[in-house]
Amino acid sequence: MVTACLAKEEPSISVVAVTPGMVETNMQRTMRSYPRDSDQMDIKTQEYFIKAHSDGLVGTTDPPASTIAWMALHVPHEISGEYLRWNDARLTQWINQSITRQNAETVRTAAGIVNVPTTTAASSN
């Protein structure tokens, strides 16, 4: 809600909220390791986190962090105001296109070629 409001109030900036999903942290490990008879945590909540971990639903911090870092520099303005998962298909597409453009620019610069348009998968229809 704050993201959408800020995007409307400040249209000259891009504002996006990104959820990293459930990631392995010290807090996750602590919640899973409380003794069952502890009054520190509701047993159903603890079971939820234990099951999520055993089912492979708890990821590492690196992929979401890399996506969020990329967005800090390159967020597409057309998604301003949105709340997205770190692995949203649109973000993956923009990141891949950006990497393709950056790699093409590096190759053109190294070869001494200037002012040659780059072709990406999205624009080669």
- Global pTM value: 0.64
C-alpha–C-alpha distance, residues 95 and 69, integer Å: 11
For tokens 């040659």, the residue is 116
User: For residue 101, what pLDDT is reported?
Assistant: 73
Question: Which token pair is 11?
Answer: 């249209």
Q: Yes or no: say if 79 and 17 are a contact pair by the CB < 8 Å rule.
A: no
Relative orientation angle of helices 26-33 and 43-54, to the nearest 10 degrees = 120
- Per-residue pLDDT of the chain (125 residues), as tens digits, is 899 999 999 999 999 999 999 999 999 998 888 887 777 788 898 899 999 999 999 999 888 888 888 888 888 888 999 999 988 888 888 888 877 777 666 655 655 544 444 444 444 44
User: For residue 119, what pLDDT is reported?
Assistant: 41
User: For residue 112, what pLDDT is reported?
Assistant: 52
Neighbours of 94 (CB within 10 A): 19
User: For residue 118, what pLDDT is reported?
Assistant: 43
For tokens 């996006």, the residue is 16
User: For residue 26, what pLDDT is reported?
Assistant: 93
